[in-house]
Amino acid sequence: MRISAPSCLCPFLVCLCFIQRCYGASHHLPAKVPSFRNGTKLAKGETEVHHRPKRGWIWNQFFVLEEHLGTEAQYVGKLHSNSDKGDGSVRYILSGDGAGNIFVIDEVTGDISATKSLDRESKSHYVLHAQALDRNTEEALEPKSEFIIKVQDINDNAPTFPHGPVVATVPEMSELGTSVLQVTASDADDPTYGNSARIVYSVLQGQPYFSIDPKTGIIRTALSEMDREAREHYTVVIQAKDMAGQVGGLSGSTTINITLTDVNDNPPMFPQKNYQLYVPESAQVGKPVGKIKATDEDLGINADIKYSIINSEGANTFSISTERDTREGIISLKKPLNYERKKTYTLHIEGTNTHVDPRFSYLGSFKDTATLKITVGDVDEAPIFSIDHYIMDVYENSPSGTEVGAVMARDPDSRNSPVRYFLDSKEEGVRYFRIDESSGLIRTTQSLDREDMSWHNITVMASEVDNPSLLSHVPVTVQVLDVNDNPPEIATDEEVIVCESSRPGQVIQTVTAVDKDDFANGQRFSFALPSQLPVNPNFTLKDNEDSSASIIARRRRFNQQTQELYELPIVVWDGGEPSLSGTSTLTLRVCPCQRHGKVRMCQGEAFLSSAGLSTGALIAILLCIVILLAIVVLFITLRRSKKEPLIISEEDIRENVVTYDDEGGGEEDTEAFDIIALRNPAAAEEFKFRRDIRPEKRKHCVLPRSHRAAAVELDESDVHEFIKQRLVEADMDTSVPPYDSLQTYAYEGQGSPTGSVSPLDTPGTQSEQDYNDLDNWGPQFQKLAELYAEAESEVTA
């Protein structure tokens, strides 16, 4: 089979078709060729030779132009088999990519045609399969063969850029040829065939500022030292053209927006060289008084300016700082202004860039100067005191009207107006002092007492007579000096404890003195007993000559029972001029002391001291206890007075049994039941104590045994009569419940052979024990010894 292509495509294809056809004709083989290898011997001795013809497919690539615009189908090529005799017995079929819908074949002639317009950019080639069949038997005359139809490219796609516009930047003042940006265009045509995809770049707009490399697409500056301050934004249009830029090529374009970025190539400049500013002399220190600003055409940090005052005259009185947002120089006051002393100031102000680019140092220094003349305005000022704080002194007890001191103020203005003085009426010091409104002399209004208040603080105000609204203030401190006008006195008001076992010459206590007066060299006191009184037989006083004195006992053993309190007057002299004296009377209390006299206080005081409670705390505790007891008593009384019904309900009828579970407390129980009532009812009624009143205190707590035995010896009485009497009283008592109650009285009698163990009924004789030795046992047994001593004295009497 032969594959023929139309000769109208190009000279190359015509030559290729000619070679194919000649090659096919020269290789036409005869029908029979002797061959023993493939022969079959016949019956008559002849041999039949079978000829296997060689494959007749002659093929090559087919080409078809893209974007065919004709109305008829585009001829692609021809398929031909050597088995085709031209009688129509061979049928050609086509399969593969686009077979049947894009590519069709004539079944008789084998001509292939393209029925549709093809786009190489969508599909560049198609793979198909051809086969020759016997039309009658449908048997394959040739094996299926594969061939390719390539879509031949034409220049039908223009170059394209990415979506724009594109933004680029380049620093101003850049050198010639500085790279800005590289652009790249793409062409969908076949880059391996012809010049359809060969792109060349050019500048359509943006010259003479920028240029582009035609092959690489790199945009560069075409001018040197382009100034942003002159022009900042540029619009550059770049064209990309295929076919190597030849006539007939397709093109595309894009827009590049190029911005010149700022560099510090401009120094700051003051709009003018001389400025004037008016500042009143009343301007406050540290507050802004004016502004000045230098301009800089640069942007951002390249335009930052630092201001400074470069001459000493201005720098000593004024300061300048930069406001970051507005880049203004803020002028502030460092020292107070005084119109009368200096009326004008001249400031040389310099503005300098803070970020200088050394590449542009050839342009000059990046700073500028200006002159500011400040005129001080005259303002009516308040009077000024000679000093900021006055300290004066005056002796106490001085008469009213005594001079303390004087203040002085003057008008700082050139008019020198007279000044008027007065005290601040809101302060407490106006009660003690007054001031002369013309001279400023301060006097006392009353006698001062240093012990009451040693320092006084007052405020003196001054104003001009012509303008009272302008006030000035000054603090004045007055010290009250001391004089010796207070006598000394003993430092303590507490009682002095004297032990009963004190010995003659023993120091009872050391006392000191106090004085309200102030002694610069220390207080010196002398002590003595009053000379006009007789000699004290119990105590004497020794001056220790160190502003203290010692109280010394003169006799042995003091008895609290005999005399508990002693008074000792003491005269104290101070060391002032003139010397003053005072008499203080000390109270000395006799108390039993512990061994070695370690604790010198009475038992009640010792208890309070050991507890660490003050008198107020004890009173509060006792008050709380009393309130709690009152609440308990009230609660018990209310419960007793509440009467419950005997019968709770009509259905609930039952006996009521009242049980009393009182038990005796033994010999120590003297309240629950008195055994004397059973033994002698008459005597019990006679000696019966009332419980609603406090019983009288017995004279002695302890009685001798003989007396106790006599007191408990009672005559026996008829217990039976006593019980009957109590029963009648119970029946007649209207305060008891209406139901019966059982009261049992039992009397055991005296017939027990064991006897009583109670010491009350034990008749004994007077003890022969000597209790005087208890005095030597210490303070713990002293009270017991006193009781036995009193009891023995009564028995003896």
Q: Is the pLDDT of residue 649 over 70?
A: no
Q: Is the pLDDT of residue 675 over 60?
A: no
- Range of weakest confidence among 390-394, 407-411, 552-556, 657-661: 657-661
Higher pLDDT, 47 or 324: 324
Contact 377, 280 (CB under 8 A): yes
Please provide the DSSP assignment of 705-754 as one string.
HHHHHHHT------HHHHHHHHHHHHHH-TTS-SS----------S--SS
Encoded tokens for 247: 């006539």
Q: Is the pLDDT of residue 670 over 60?
A: no
Q: Is the pLDDT of residue 4 over 80?
A: no
- In this prediction, residue 738 has a pLDDT band, given cuts at 50, 70 and 90, of low
- Range of weakest confidence among 236-245, 380-389, 747-756: 747-756
- In this prediction, residue 757 has a pLDDT band, given cuts at 50, 70 and 90, of low
- In this prediction, residue 792 has a pLDDT band, given cuts at 50, 70 and 90, of low
Q: What average pLDDT score do residues 486-494 get?
A: 82
The pLDDT value given to residue 716: 47
- In this prediction, residue 394 has a pLDDT band, given cuts at 50, 70 and 90, of very high
Higher pLDDT, 738 or 705: 738
- Range of weakest confidence among 408-412, 479-483, 645-649: 645-649
Sequence-separated (6 or more) residues with CB below 8 Å from residue 141: 81, 83, 90, 132, 133, 134
State the alpha helices, DSSP H only, in 612-718. Answer: 615-641, 676-679, 681-686, 705-711
Higher pLDDT, 307 or 430: 307
The pLDDT value given to residue 233: 95
Model pLDDT for residues 428-451, shown as the tens digit of each residue:
878 899 999 999 999 999 999 988
Percent of the chain at pLDDT above 70?
Answer: 73
Q: How far apart are CA 693 and CA 226, in angstroms?
A: 124
Average per-residue pLDDT in the chain? 77
Higher pLDDT, 688 or 539: 539
The pLDDT value given to residue 29: 30
Higher pLDDT, 40 or 639: 639
Q: What average pLDDT score do residues 579-602 get?
A: 75
Q: What average pLDDT score do residues 17-30 get?
A: 34
The pLDDT value given to residue 6: 43
- Range of weakest confidence among 227-231, 362-366, 725-729: 725-729
The pLDDT value given to residue 778: 67
Encoded tokens for 540: 């004497």
Q: What average pLDDT score do residues 654-680 get?
A: 52
Contact 787, 701 (CB under 8 A): yes
Which residue, among 672, 671, 670, has the nearest Cα to 662 in the 3D structure? 672
Q: What is the pTM for the complete model shown?
A: 0.43
The pLDDT value given to residue 691: 43
Model pLDDT for residues 46-84, shown as the tens digit of each residue:
444 444 444 445 455 788 877 777 777 888 888 888 777
